Structure 1
Amino acid sequence: MSLDNVVEDIRDEARARAEEIREDGEQRAEEIIEEAETDAEELLESRKTDVERQVEQEREQALSSAKLEAKQKRLEARRDVLEDVRGQVEEELAALSGDRRETLTRSLLDEAADEFDDDADVVVYGRESDQSLIEDILEEHDGYEFGGTYECLGGVVVESQQSRVRVNNTFDSVLEGVWEDNLKEVSSRLFDQ
């Protein structure tokens, strides 16, 4: 074998080895590209899922926030209506006159009088415009006198220094009790719950 043949064999072997290395490199490059493309698709799918989840979450939060705001506005509107109704009731109570006002005032005074001893000196306060009515009613009660005005819709505040008892039987206090006891029913009737 000649030297030329040996050189040629080494070159052929080197070319074959180079070709083999090139093919391995190309195959490895294709595998890397496939892996990268698969990773990119998975990442894209993951990001897409994350974005969709975030969008859904934000939509739910916005919807929840809108529902809460609507509920608050509804409650505010109901509170305003209830305040208007109570205001109308107060106006009607303040405007009561004649026999109806006298009957209610007398009844509230008699109820308060039950809290005091018969020999007690009792002072009665009432609405300024009811002074003469209260004084007329007090003529029927020994030891009772009109003590001055009290800011209210009507009725009486009765007190005795001896027993240190004070009874608030004003239209306002009666309305407060009735309002609290019946607020749920009033609300149901007004808003058909």
Structure 2
Amino acid sequence: MSLDTVVEDVREEARARAEAIRGEGETRAEEIESAAEEDAAEIVETAETEAEREAEQLREQRLSSAKLEAKQKRLEARREVLGDVREEVEAELADLEGGPREALTRDLLEAASEEFDAGDDVRVYGRADDRELIESILEDYDGYEFGGEHDCLGGVVVESQQSRVRVNNTFDSVLEDVWEDNLREISNRLFEQ
């Protein structure tokens, strides 16, 4: 066997081995490429699912936020309407005149007077515009005198140093009590829920 034959045999064997390695490499590369494509498809599917989930969450959050904002605006509008109604009631109480004002003032003073003992020196305070009305009513009460002005819609504030009692029977305080006690009903009537 000649050297050329040996060299040719070695070359042939090297070519065959190289061809086998290249075939294995191509097969392995195809397997890797196939696995990578499967991984990529899985990643894309997961990303799409996650994106859809996040989009749905975002939509739900925005919808929830919009509903909350609408509810807050409705509540704010209702508060404004209730405030307007209260202002109208206060204006009507302040404008009350004649017999109805006198009767209401008498009733409030009579209710307050139950808190004081006979012989107490009692001071009665009221709205500046009601001074004459209060002084005329006080003519029926011994030991009671007009004590001065009180900033209110009407009614009286009655106090005595001896008994250390102060009774606030102003239109304002009565309105506040009635308003608080009946706010739900007032709201239901206004907004018919």
TM-score computed with the length of structure 1 as normaliser: 0.94
Q: How many residues align?
A: 193
Give 1:178's aligned residue.
Answer: 178
Match of 2:163 in 1: 163
Residue 60 of structure 1: aligned partner: 60
Q: Structure 1 counterpart of 2:54, which letter?
A: Q
Structure 1 position 176, deviation (Å): 0.4
Hey, which bits of structure 1, 4+ residues long, moved more than 6 A?
Answer: none
Q: Tell me the equivalent position of 1:148.
A: 148
Q: How far does residue 66 in structure 1 lie from its aligned partner after superposition?
A: 1.3
Residue in structure 1 matched with residue 40 of structure 2 by the alignment: 40
2:91 aligns with 91
Matches of 1:58 and 1:161, distance apart in 2: 67
Question: Secondary structure of the equivalent of 2:125?
Answer: strand
Q: Distance in 1 between matches of 2:46 and 2:25?
A: 31
Q: Which residue of 1 aligns with 2:70?
A: 70
1:158, distance to aligned residue in structure 2 (A)? 0.4
SS for the counterpart of 1:109 is: helix
The CA deviation at 1:51 is 1.9
Which residue identity does 1:180 align to in structure 2? Answer: E
Residue 27 of structure 1 corresponds to which residue in structure 2? Answer: 27
Secondary structure of the residue aligned to 1:84 is helix
SS for the counterpart of 1:146 is strand
Amino acid at match of 2:95: A
Distance 2:143 2:191 in 1: 49
- For structure 2, the residue ranges without an aligned partner over 5 or more in a row are none
After TM superposition, give the deviation of residue 148 of structure 1 in Å.
1.1
Which amino acid in the other structure matches residue 50 of structure 1? Answer: E
- Once the two structures are superposed, what CA deviation does each residue of 1:156-185 show, in whole Å capped at 9, x if it has no partner? 000001111100000000000000000011
Fraction of identical pairs, as percent: 70
What RMSD in Å do the two structures reach over aligned CA positions? 1.4
Residue in structure 2 matched with residue 9 of structure 1 by the alignment = 9
* 2: CA distance, partners of 1:116 / 1:14: 125
Q: Once structures 1 and 2 are overlaid, which stretch shifts more, 87-96 or 54-63?
A: 54-63
